Each structure stands twice: as C-alpha cells, then as structure tokens.
Structure 1
Amino acid sequence: MLLDGKKLLVTGVLMDSSIAFHVARLAQENGAQVVLTSFGRTLRITQAIARRLPQPADVVELDVTNQEHLDTLAERVGAQVDGLDGVVHSIGYAPKGAFDFLNASWEDAATALHVSAYSLKALTVAALPLMREGGSVVGLTLDASVAWPVYDWMGVAKAAFESTSRYLARDLGPKGIRCNLVSAGPLATTAAKSIPMFEQFERWGERAPLGWDVKNPVPAAQACVAMLSDWFPATTGEIVHVDGGFHAIGF
C-alpha cells in the first residue's frame, strides 16, 4: 500500500465533502494512521465526521492562530502517534470584507494572510519535533498566478501561501522534509461556498481539457496522497495542478 505504516496529521476535515476528508480516507485505505485537527465549534463536527472514515481517527484541537495550541501540538499529537511522516494543510479563511479588494480593511486582509498563508509555516514548525526522520508536507491551493474575478484578498493570501511553501522547501530540505502544494480546481466545499459569486467558477469544466466536476474532490485528494508517499523523494517546492488542465489553457 502506498502509505503503509505512515503516520499523518490532516487538518481541515469539516465535512465528508471536503478534500481533507478524502485525503484522510484514502490515506487510511493505503495503510496510514491518521490524526485529525479541529477547534472551537467545529470540533464536535469533525469528531462526528471522523467516524465516517474507514477507521476511527483521533481529533486534536488546533487553532492555527493560537500560539498555545501550536506550542503544544507536538506533545498532544505525540500522545496519539510516536512520530509523523506527513502533514496536510487544508486551512483557509477570509472575512467577508476581504472579498472586496479595493475596500477591504487591513484587518480583513491580515486575517486572510494569517489563517491562509502564515499558518503553513506555523503548522509545519509546530509539527517538526515529530518529523524526526523527514517526511512530506502537502498544502492545498487555488492557482495564485492570476487575479480571479471573485477571490480578491484570498487570492493574495494564496500567492503568499505558495511562496511560503517554496521557502519551507528551501529550509526543510536539509532535514529530509519535502513541501509541495496541490492546486485544485474549484470545488463546492463548505469553504468555497462562502466565497461571493462562487458560481462563476462552475463553468470551469467548459474550458478544462479533461473537464472538471466541482462536486468531486477525489482527484485532488489522490494527488495529495501521492505527494505524501515515497514516490516523490526528490520533489519539493512544487505545485501540482489538479484542475482538469484549466491552468494550461486560460480563459
């Protein structure tokens, strides 16, 4: 099995329609032990969703903007597993005001950047004590090389997120830790539905050479599992597009 014996920390499991849920499911089906994270009002939701996985998964509380949570993460995750081989970052949030680019306040933009970009570094550093034998960090993005019609400061945050991944690849490579991103096409997840005018993305499949199903998160999850495996031992700082080929065609 692709991930036989590996131990993974997966963030962002909120509903069974989320990419992160299917990453956790596929990882377990491929031999991995999975620990999930959640916090606040969503903690019980994640615990309930975790019961839909092939095997029960422990859920550790983690708010990536809470320094105490980050400082104690390795200890608390270490109580469930004796180390980590991989970390999945599937976290993103921006206030409503961040989707109005010219009128957004710094507070709105700062929140988007903190939760959706800086958190990749924060989460990875928090998990480092458990990644003693190297491993793989995989994050999820939406192509930040262009300005999308509805993404605004979340798009800026994703650009920072992608840059953060490259710097992590630079600094963690000597420790045997790879950091790569999967750039998924738009999916009708809980997070995406909060983006104003998300329906504009629903025509993505008309331009993607392979087509695109906004209701199918499995292809993106499969790419994450592949990047978590040992089949990409010399790949880091990369962005793998799983978008039906839309990025190669444009508008």
Structure 2
Amino acid sequence: MEILAVACGSALAVVFAAAAVGKLRNRASYAAFVRALAAVEAVPRRWARACAAAVVAAEAAVPPLLAGQYATWHAGVAGFALAAGLLFAFTTVAAATVIRGAHVECRCFGAGGKPMGRLHVVRNGTLTLIAVLGAFATSGGRVEPAQVAVASAAGVVVGMTVIRIEDIEALFRSSTKERDDAVPGGRVGARGRVVRTRPGPHAGRDQATAGARRTAVERGWLGRPARHGGG
C-alpha cells in the first residue's frame, strides 16, 4: 500500500505546486484569483483577499509535506489531510457555483481558466478521493527505490493530466464537432457511430410532394410550353 501513497502523493504534489505557482507568478494572476474567490460567494467580499492568501499558503505547504513522507509518515498523513480538506472545499464551492448557474471563471491555476462547470466538480472530487486514498495507504513502510521511481512517474503523469484537463476536454469537444459537421444529416455518437438527426414533423409530406413534382416534370405534365392556335 505504501507504493500507492507515493503515487497519490506525487500526483497531488504536482497539482498543488502548479496551483500555487500559477496564482503567484504575477500580480494579475493573483488578483484574478481574489476576484474569482469573491465572485463564488464562498466568503464575504471583504474577506476575499485574506482568504486567498490563506488558500495559496496552504497549497504551497502541501508539496513539502507530501515529500516529507519519505522521512516520516506523519508528514505524509498531514500533507494528505491538508490536501483533502482543501480539495473538499474546492469541490463544494464548484458544485454550489454550478447549481446557482453563476458564470465564474476557474482560477485554480492562475489566469486563463474557463467558467466553472461539471468538469471542475468531477476533477476536484476525484482529487479529493486520491488524497483520502493516499492518507489511508500511508503506513511508513519501506519502499524500494525502483518502486518509488515508477510510482512517482505515474503520479506526475496523472498530475499533469489533471492540470491540462480543460485543454483535453476542449480538444475532444472540437474533434467531435468537426466529425459532426463532416456527417451530412447526422452527428457522430458514442463509439464513433453515426446518429441521424430526427426529421422535422412534415419531412415525409415534403418528400412526397417533391417526388410527385419531379415525376410530373419528367412526364411533361409540368413545364410543357402552351399551344397557341394558328391563322
């Protein structure tokens, strides 16, 4: 189970390090985070700046604590507990924002976030479960260096995927739209199957009328030049 704690710790360390650095990289990013915190109405607006500072400080403390699990398991448990508490709060705020229908950009990683939606709720909820799982998996047992390397690499991959999840979703959404546009009269559904769009309420009548008109033209009933009597 200790190797699982290493993987979970690596993933969370990458995510929280990116979150803290993203907010502190310049004044604009930090100011955007403060405005977003006030907009989600998680705390009174007059407390938004102080709360933002506390959040960033807590995020910055998570990676060192998780790294400390290699020295003492108490540090690892403290890091997972702090991460789980922060992520649970983030999940709750994101869910409340989605339910209210408010248009608030996610500033978890600084500037450039997208409006909060179900993706952010699922992302934060999944990270919360990872933190809880890591805390329970921490036992202070010895792990071989090779196992640490593999578990850490796996955790870094998961962490980087979480950081870029918005871009990944946008890529899939764009790809699906292009495939839908390429299929006349339908769209691409699950597993790449073509789903035909439902015809309008008068589609059958319109098709029958068009067929009858085409037959009449072919037989010369329509479009035949009129005869004029000769002198």
Q: TM-score, normalised by structure 1?
A: 0.28
Higher strand share: 1
Higher helix share: 2
- Return the index of the structure with the highest Cα Rg: 2
